[in-house]
Chains A and B, each alone.
Chain A
């Protein structure tokens, strides 16, 4: 059974770079998109971006200038870097697998999630 686990600092100073890693266990990292999603305190979910196992990426335009998502298939990990953080970036950050359902139309969804890691931006 595939499991995801986020890791990284829980406290980041303003203007610095937030760095998180998601480790994939119990299954292959190949042939899937992998995603980062965040949830500010008391708010809804916000999609940050996807990465395919081959390395191609899609980012949320609202964060694109500050986000980098990368993958290391040999370690079965993918990572998030968010630069120039402010208090507005304080959130629980989740990594998730994107599953593709082949039907009359293709559909995708986030079917497996990590437990989430809380990141606070504060000096």
Chain B
């Protein structure tokens, strides 16, 4: 199985901050990497697919980059509704695997 490791596990930031979350795969996955946002008690929401493509309807302050084993999710200017948990997921091979999540909290 491909292991997905996110850092940090939690992060405190303020509205307006620029935030970057990192995801590392245990082997190369090309650009087969997706990012999800999950709020408490809710289902995950797809933000980014194929490492850098913005899902329809997702604000442009969200962006993704990377290939191979190292990927980043960046939020350019945090909004109040962005405080949530973010998870990466590889779609390169079966079984599909997720990172453990990064909890983004209000400072």
B31 touches A44 (CB 8 A): no
* Among listed B14-22, B70-78, B96-104, interface-contacting one: B96-104
Alpha-carbon separation in the docked complex, A42 to B96 (Å): 20
B87 touches A45 (CB 8 A): yes
B32 proximal to A (CB < 8 A): yes
Alpha-carbon separation in the docked complex, A5 to B102 (Å): 27
B50 touches A46 (CB 8 A): no
Size of the chain B interface, CB-CB below 8 angstroms: 26
Alpha-carbon separation in the docked complex, A113 to B89 (Å): 15
B55 proximal to A (CB < 8 A): yes
A61 proximal to B (CB < 8 A): yes
* Among listed A10-18, A24-32, A73-81, A104-112, interface-contacting one: A104-112
Which residues of A sit under 8 angstroms from B95, Cβ to Cβ? 47, 60-62
Kindly list the 5 A-B residue pairs having the minimum CB-CB distance in the complex, ordered from nearest.
Answer: A113-B43, A47-B96, A45-B98, A107-B50, A60-B95
